[in-house]
Structure 1
Amino acid sequence: MEPLHFISAFRAREGKIDIKNAIWYAAAAAGLAATEQGQHMPELYRLATDGLPLEDRKIVQRRIKEAVLKGVILYGVPRSAQALGPLYEILTDEEIDTYGPRYVDSIVSKDKDTKRIERGRKYFDTLWTPISADQMRRQILKYNTDSHFCLELLYEHYVSEDGILSPIETQICYATLLTCYNAPTQALWHTRGIVRHGGTIGQARFAQDLGLALAEQFDCKTGDITMVDEIEF
């Protein structure tokens, strides 16, 4: 039996006809990186792109790469490289998607800094609620002023960038990867963040179930996960 045999059930469960708007494979990619199972990335990519024309395969590839890139702030560069390396090995030169919203903004947007700062702050405020977000910023400044800079960098340049994955989709990817990454407290934050960014309880449950399925398949610890029905949204 193929290692990713269970993924098809999540594809069917999401029920998106247009693969370019589906999130199951991007969330699964983030989870594979988190669980150090990047060798299965080519299989995931083939599952998602089977029978698709070249331009649609590029969109799928773009969304997988973005999900793994955004995960860097949680599981680090080595796991990202271990996940993307096997994918890059199977891509022909013709198939490589080169679009990068951060790169494009750095060239064409005159007010990119202002937009990025505002977007990052809004994302953080939405995730935590404005009052709690301000409390967290003050606490970070109290104990380590450079950590405040790090927080701004992560949310402005990585998390809040929505040129490929929307805020809801980003939170789904984060909730999935953190669930199978033995980080139950952070998994709670971002599972709740799906709904706070406008997603549904069903999407939160989908992300959590996918993370738990990845953990079970690859024998990964999860810690004491707070199940969706127990979360105060």
Structure 2
Amino acid sequence: MSSAVKPVKNLTRKQVYTFFERLREQRPHPTTELNFSSPFELLVAVTLSAQATDVSVNKATDKLFPVANTPEAIYALGVDGLKDYIKTIGLYNSKAENVIKACKILIEKHNSQVPENRADLEALPGVGRKTANVVLNTAFGQPTMAVDTHIFRVGNRTGLAVGKNVLEVEHRLVKVIPKEFIVDAHHWLILHGRYCCIARKPKCYECVVADVCNWPDRFEFGAARQIAVKNIEAES
């Protein structure tokens, strides 16, 4: 079987609606798998998650946040103090420096509050477009789309949003996703990519959107089985 992502046609408007309708039915209340209880905790967690798993970040922040979960408290730890909590995460040296610098800026320029706009977020050390999108969407409910590896793959593979780079995919997704789905779309797509539309052996045989997917190779991975189930459900 070939698991390579081949160029596909973009989904129609009707297919896109059905795509997200199904994902909503499957996960009515999607959310990030990072542990957080405030916009600041989310900002720190997402910053730490670059090139790291959510599981590894949660293990570190579950110890860090009970001790320090405000800009002042984490800044007081200093770079070396913060490293002690996050040293199990990849690139922890640079991440510790960025988080401490970001805390200083939040304290001095934003009254220790996480900004609710892209420009101020992206001005923070260690915060790029993807991190800003996650914070704006998850913490503040803004209709942004953070495109990671999973979402880039799902967009291109299914035909939901075909693009050569993450920015193209992001813009396409924001354009085609109906308003009623846009706020939760990031979480639906990342979870679908993480647990079903995986890179090497996608689980097309259990995919809830197999019948509205345009990936030519989906039948090699059992899509016909799931499509048959959908047809039976539609007739009953």
Structure ID, larger Rg:
2
What's the TM-score once normalised by structure 2's chain length? 0.22
What's the TM-score once normalised by structure 1's chain length? 0.22
Structure with more of its chain in helix, by fraction:
1
